[in-house]
Structure 1
Amino acid sequence: MIRKQQMEIDNYEKVAVTPRFCYFKPKVMTNSTMAQEIAFSLSQKKKFISSKFFYDDVGSETFEKICDLPEYYLTRTEFEILDEIKSDLSEYLADNFALVELGSGSSVKTRKLLEILTCKQKDVEYYPVDISDILKDSSINLHDEYENLKITGIIDNYETGLEFIRTLDHTKKLVAFLGSSMGNFSPKEGMEFLEKIHESMSVGDMLLLGLDLVKDVKILESAYNDSSGITADFNCNLLLRLNKEFGANFDLTKFKHVAVFNKKHRRIEMYLKSLTKQHVFMPVIDLFLKFKKDELIHTEYSHKYTTSQIKKMTKRTGFRLVHMWNDKKNYFTMALFAVEK
């Protein structure tokens, strides 16, 4: 459970939904931080918008649609691996573990982990961390499905989630970071984030990490350029969000979704391309933008990994690689890491 002093954090309020489900959220919901970041990132010579801003209500719902697309193999493949390794994973989770999930989303894959823990333990503590309010609905669904599950959610970014993890009194924790979300970080940022995760954990804790592997370029690019245009809608929703929240006048007919694989850096790069020379004004943050024809706004990286890369990451961040499970096509891997003294 969370220590009393953590529950009394000045900047957060605890919302008790049921005796078995509560969540923490910032007391003051403000766009000031987002405004500062957007003003900075769009004022750079190479414009960009952080991928964390994808996930407003519309963005979160659209991403759930992406996960069901035939071209988007990631969610489907990771789910299949989790289903196949339940018996193996169960052996590594012989003791009582609390489950902490970074970027919980709709918690569909979470059920595979809860199936293991709720069968082995009398009571299970689950700590989902997500920047989106989707956490509330997904947690209620899990709450109703598992009678021996207690849920404490954190509606905020990963960094805040890690601060909460540090305060947990559990003997052991399983931290899950699924969906290849690790790929959104640059290699340097990814290493730093893994180090932060390691620092928030204790000896005996384990980390389950989902990572997308390097594969045929056509397969990779198709996953981010689906024929239905759902990923394009997801990307373009960033501009709609800026229009809604900051009074911007982005014309979506003048921008195009672009997703390409960069072989050198082994990553999918997603952009919004200006189709014409144009001006955009954001009155709420007093920002005037000039776009050249074909100018790009970078919105996301999705790095792909090799087995050797994963092993190097393990050594450099202080984890011990326990096991890796790949699907039959070697599209995706689930890697289990242990924290040791």
Structure 2
Amino acid sequence: MTPSTTGDATGHFTVERRIAADHLTRALRADAQAGLTESPKSLPPKWFYDARGSMLFDRITRLPEYYLTRAERMVLRANAPRVAELTGARALVELGSGSSEKTRILLDALTAAGTLRRYAPLDVSESALTAAGQALAAAYPGLAITATVADFETDLALPEPSAGPRLVAFLGSTLGNLDTEQRAAFLGRLRQALTTEGDALLLGVDLVKDPARMLRAYDDGQGVTAEFNKNLLTILNRELDADFDPGAFDHRAIWNEEEERMEMRLRARVTHSVKIPTLDLTLDFLRGEDLRTEISVKFRREGLEPELAQAGFTLEHWWTDQQERFAVLLAVPA
């Protein structure tokens, strides 16, 4: 497929599409076919984010129980000037950029340092990239913004090495949504792509802490997270012509101590069946059976550092908030 490029009249902000128009539909069908027929049933969390899901998640990030976004912003604000000094990045790449709100902290530091020439956000949502890119183009008139519609799980779409040194930001503890094998594969591909002298990785990760605090973050008192979780069923109904009844499921947040990860699940309230005609599939749920909708691995430095080393990265700096809830780390190709 030949990528298409669009932009404003000045070329200051461009969007390049590197996935087919039906990519998400095909990917959702494949994930649903695979995940809903295994035992236990599961789906990856990337399918939460339709327009309503994105709105609900934005509300979640503002809830008092949800510490992750506030803690990461705190760490970025405290250390972004140091990141700019250490990297001298000419290109900032952000994987899974979404609204690019937290990115402004890095953009401010890198532009103040005088090195940054390009911001290259990557996301599967063209509408999110366009909205964020247009806002940033107005706020940073001297910056080239080259957005790419792509799925970082299969296409990292980094700017060419000549744009370097490149700083790749992977924030929001999105790494925690990948299991051990998926993380190894992702970090390995990223290491292979970072070939320019001075290239670096800026990674945001949530840390292991008191399970009660983490459980509150994934099961808030207002029920917003429950609504967010159940919205996945509405997405499946709309996109796959399924007949899930969201009222037949309860939201559950579980701390999996053995794997050191939070899990979000939808638990069947009664024994029932669900039809997905698009996949020619009938699902049987027993009362109390779970559909796992998210894993969110929580990290320790002593565990993550060897993972990075195995992929070919050297962890150079590790910054946390005062309560050591969340870490932002800088790693470089070994």
For residues 276-316 of structure 1, the C-alpha deviation after alignment (integer angstroms, 9 at most, x for no partner) is: 01111112222111111011111111001112012212321
* 2:319 paired residue number: 325
* 2:50 paired residue number: 56
Tell whether 2:240 aligns with 1:249.
no
* 1:4 paired residue number: none
Residue 242 of structure 2 aligns to a residue whose secondary structure is coil
2:214 to 220, 226, 229: 220
* 2:27 paired residue number: 33
Tell whether 2:199 aligns with 1:230.
no
Shifted more, 15-24 versus 67-76: the winner is 15-24
Distance 1:316 1:233, change over 3 A: same
- Name the amino acid aligned to 2:12: R
Residue 260 of structure 1 aligns to a residue whose secondary structure is strand
- Check whether the contact 1:166–1:201 (CA below 8 A) recurs between aligned residues: no
- Check whether the contact 2:85–2:113 (CA below 8 A) recurs between aligned residues: no
- Spell out the pairing of 1:139-158 with structure 2 (5 A cutoff): 139-158=133-152
- Check whether the contact 1:50–1:299 (CA below 8 A) recurs between aligned residues: yes
Provide the C-alpha distance between the structure 2 equivalents of 1:169 and 1:232, rounded to a whole number of angstroms. 46
1:189 to 177, 182, 194: 182
Tell whether 2:93 aligns with 1:92.
no
Provide the C-alpha distance between the structure 2 equivalents of 1:69 and 1:291, rounded to a whole number of angstroms. 32
- Spell out the pairing of 1:107-118 with structure 2 (5 A cutoff): 107-118=100-111
Distance 1:259 1:328, change over 3 A: same
- Check whether the contact 1:129–1:161 (CA below 8 A) recurs between aligned residues: no
- Name the amino acid aligned to 1:191: A
* 1:5 paired residue number: none
- Check whether the contact 1:256–1:275 (CA below 8 A) recurs between aligned residues: yes
Provide the C-alpha distance between the structure 2 equivalents of 1:92 and 1:215, rounded to a whole number of angstroms. 29
* 1:313 paired residue number: 307
| TM-score under structure 2 length normalisation | 0.94
Aligned residues: 329
Provide the C-alpha distance between the structure 1 equivalents of 2:239 and 2:267, rounded to a whole number of angstroms. 21
* Amino-acid identity (%): 36
Provide the C-alpha distance between the structure 2 equivalents of 1:124 and 1:246, rounded to a whole number of angstroms. 42
- Name the amino acid aligned to 1:274: A
* 1:45 paired residue number: 39
Distance 1:156 1:56, change over 3 A: farther
Please, which runs of 5 or more residues in structure 1 have no aligned partner? 1-9
